[in-house]
Chains A and B, each alone.
Chain A
């Protein structure tokens, strides 16, 4: 199941050139650019792993694309990779954009869980299939 989330989620995946343009925009605004990856794309999973350091002092997208290439060497086809831009100005102090730049070859998607509570009532929840894998094989 092809998962979409974040900024541009309604568009096809961005090309490297388009990714570079977005990074240049963040750099122009002084936002720190981050590369993050995870195998669990659950929308409520805010704890993606950070690749390297936040990149706040590079002047050119080539530097971030270089790191993205390094990250892909390790995780391409195995994990979701996203790029986010963090604005540290007072009052914002939050992520300005974040979009997926790479996804696993197979996207297992989510299971729907039903929990019966209080007699006949049901609660629903989603769980990423990728989290079924045993601990040692996930990361």
Chain B
């Protein structure tokens, strides 16, 4: 045995990492997604695990492939769906899944309307997802505690069975808001034990939201004027204090409305020459016109 080790070829981890092609995608994750430290860290850990697993297999050290079912918990708009879509790409490059595809479903896609309808429906979705990733958004709707004859239970049982026996054929990712997911796992302990990675998506800080805004604008060839940037930062602070705040999605919506106002402004000043710069730039007024400022003030006075 000692000889074996002495003569064994040295394994080049760097080369293996290069070959896997996962480097660029981790990089992309880093640049295209703002914040999300704990999420990115966990994805790196999973990438490392799979890479080492592959190397182990190459030198004949056999082991069961690791289970990679996951749950993503976090508030609205924290990037759960976005990261899930990337996950298929990452797992594919690391050779864990056979094809790079994600099937995204909610309760309605899995649960039927009448007796005998649910099992075929659930199985059909599972088969469609095989080889790739099955993403179940707001998974807790599968389980309705108040109705023990709910057909969701049947879908749950099939899912549990397939997650166990067909581990090598698909990865299941469940997502939802943290408190309700916890409740869901408490009522269905089978899921908790089958899921290897529970990843929590933190809320974004005001600073991160501003970065996200600038990233989104850049992707669409827009930009803030310096005063608009300041205004937007104030806007975000006001918006965060109001109900139904949904992180990056609120940013996207606010930007959509600002674009609308910019278009109206440009349209109303017609007669003047408009430059390419004008078409790209959002001004402070476009942000300040939002109802959010008044609403936040009102809320502050009430408290």
Contact = CB atoms under 8 A, between A and B. Distances in A.
Interface of A: 55, 57-63, 66-67
Interface residues of B, number: 13
A12 to B, nearest CB: 26
Contacts, number: 35
B257 interface: no
B98 interface: yes
Given A59-B99, A59-B101, A66 B130 contact: yes
B166 interface: yes
B166 A60 contact: no
A132 to B, nearest CB: 35
A25 to B, nearest CB: 14
Contacts of B98: 60
Contacts of A59: 99, 101, 128, 130-132
B71 to A, nearest CB: 23
B127 interface: yes
Interface of B: 98-99, 101, 123, 126-128, 130-132, 166, 169-170
A61 B131 CA distance: 8
14 contacts: A58-B127, A59-B99, A59-B101, A59-B132, A60-B98, A60-B99, A60-B130, A60-B131, A60-B169, A62-B166, A63-B130, A66-B123, A66-B130, A67-B127
A6 B169 CA distance: 29
Nearest to B103: A59
Contact of B128 (A58, A61, A67): A58
Q: What are the 7 closest A-B residue pairs judged by CB atoms, nearest first?
A: A60-B131, A63-B127, A62-B169, A62-B130, A63-B130, A60-B130, A59-B99
